[in-house]
Amino acid sequence: MEVKDFFPVWNDLSPAEQQLLEGGAVRRTVEKGAVLHSGSLDCTGLLLVERGQLRACILSDEGREITLYRLLDRDICLFSASCMLRSIQFEVTIQAQRETTLWVLAPEPYQCVMEHSAPLANFTNEVMAGRFSDVMWLLEQILWKRFDQRLAAFLLEESALEGTSVLKITHEAIGSHMGNPREVVTRMLRYFQCEGLVRLSRGTVEIQNADGLKQLARI
């Protein structure tokens, strides 16, 4: 994939604007676990995911964390260019969930083009609105759904992302995604196991009754 493949408004840009964006982009491959962006003072640039998976999360002062959303193939991360979006100050951490190939687009040329291109500015606003919708959806889940419903939905989502019912994930990692202590996750997973929904082993959660989880999650 090239930089232009991430922007449906590419043909609406002038050749000079296209060249400016392409000249400000660097292609990288990062290992699983690599932190690409940390906090509002870190202006990494736009992240264009070619292949892989990134995780956007926030950390509390006590060290707890919660996943805001995932970034998959062809997704664009704007929060990693906080110096370009001065009205938005999110302390977001971006971490690779698996080996990921991506483009890092410097914020300066992007901001320069966006200031002169209405199509690119509108597209940027659409991407940002979509991410805010993800965050608001998460907030609604936390406020109005029971933890067992949220955990069931998380396991189904993880299974869909990985393409398997056998999830290589620890209770601590699930807690980090969901913003809950490991002990809370362990208790609920043991309850799920007693109900025949999952089978637990060291570092693994195997889904045994996907329909039961869907019913619990109300999907």
Which CATH fold would you assign to the domain 3-142?
Jelly Rolls (2.60.120)
Rg of the chain, C-alpha, whole Å: 19
Cα angle: 88, vertex 93, 97; to 5 degrees: 135
Q: Which top CATH class is 146-217?
A: mainly alpha
Q: Which residues pair with 104 in a beta bridge?
A: 26, 47
pTM of the predicted structure, to 2 decimals: 0.80
The full set of domain ranges for the chain reads 3-142, 146-217
DSSP 40: T
Model pLDDT, residue 85: 64
Q: pLDDT means per 10 residues in the chain (219 residues)?
A: 95 96 95 86 85 91 85 90 64 91 94 94 92 88 90 95 94 92 94 95 95 89
- Predicted confidence at residue 40, as pLDDT, reads 59
